């Protein structure tokens, strides 16, 4: 199936399905940006966490709308699992970011580690590329553009791995076991979210490759 026909199969009869996918990507970017701001301007944490929580609720609503579209109006000669898997991956990103913001408040983290800010910056950059990759399926209709965005997401994920490993090494030089555990869990979730970004990008690449 030519790539320029992908949009035809992505969009349900009412024309809303692909718009919902784009909204998911926008929310992933918005939550990433909000978390980055939360860590960079470390004050009013509960207010900022609530903002992210509201975005997560909005993402849940979009997810429900996507499943409704799949069940009622999405009749195409491709595997429905491809679409639901990608939608779930985008939703997972938002869920992870929401969890991180909740931990920052619940654990009463006084000051973020430099690595936490670096990883949050990476999430913003990844979500920017992810948003472009989702849009490219609809507008560019060229595999090369999709591949470029997905490749950048992978590169950023590799950078995140290096930052995470170094941060854990430094963290275990601290003397307070409870402090170590708190920071370690947050670092793990940040790194895991960069993996989620890469996973979503892989799903996009797989869909394009199967139908190009």
Q: Is the pLDDT of residue 23 over 50?
A: yes
Decide: helix, strand or coil at residue 75: coil
Question: Which residues, in sequence order, are CB contacts of 41 under 8 Å at separation 6+?
Answer: none
Position with higher pLDDT, 9 vs 17: 17
User: Structure pTM?
Assistant: 0.90
The parent domain of residue 34 ranges over 3-210
| CB 156 within 8 Å of CB 129 | yes
* CA 183 and chain centroid, separation: 21
Report the number of distinct structural domains present in the chain.
1
Identify the pLDDT of residue 14: 44
- Position 183 scores a pLDDT of 97
pLDDT band per the 50, 70, 90 thresholds, residue 212: low
């Amino acid at each position: 199936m030519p790539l320029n026909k992908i949009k035809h199969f992505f969009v349900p009869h009412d024309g809303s399905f692909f718009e919902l996918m784009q909204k998911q990507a926008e929310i992933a970017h918005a939550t990433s940006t909000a978390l980055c701001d939360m860590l960079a301007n470390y004050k009013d944490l509960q207010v900022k966490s609530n903002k992210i929580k509201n975005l997560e609720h909005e993402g849940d609503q979009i997810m429900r709308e996507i499943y409704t579209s799949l069940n009622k109006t999405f009749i195409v000669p491709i595997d429905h699992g491809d679409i639901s898997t990608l939608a779930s991956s985008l939703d997972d990103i938002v869920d992870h970011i929401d969890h991180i913001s909740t931990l920052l408040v619940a654990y009463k983290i006084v000051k973020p580690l430099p690595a936490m800010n670096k990883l949050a910056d990476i999430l913003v950059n990844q979500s920017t590329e992810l948003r472009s990759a989702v849009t490219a399926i609809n507008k560019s209709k060229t595999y090369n553009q999709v591949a470029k965005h997905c490749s950048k997401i992978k590169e950023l994920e590799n950078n995140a791995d290096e930052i995470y490993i170094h941060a854990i090494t430094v963290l275990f030089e601290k003397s307070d076991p409870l402090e170590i555990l708190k920071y370690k869990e947050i670092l793990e979730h940040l790194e895991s979210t960069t993996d989620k970004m890469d996973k979503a990008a892989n799903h996009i690449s797989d869909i394009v490759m199967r139908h190009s």
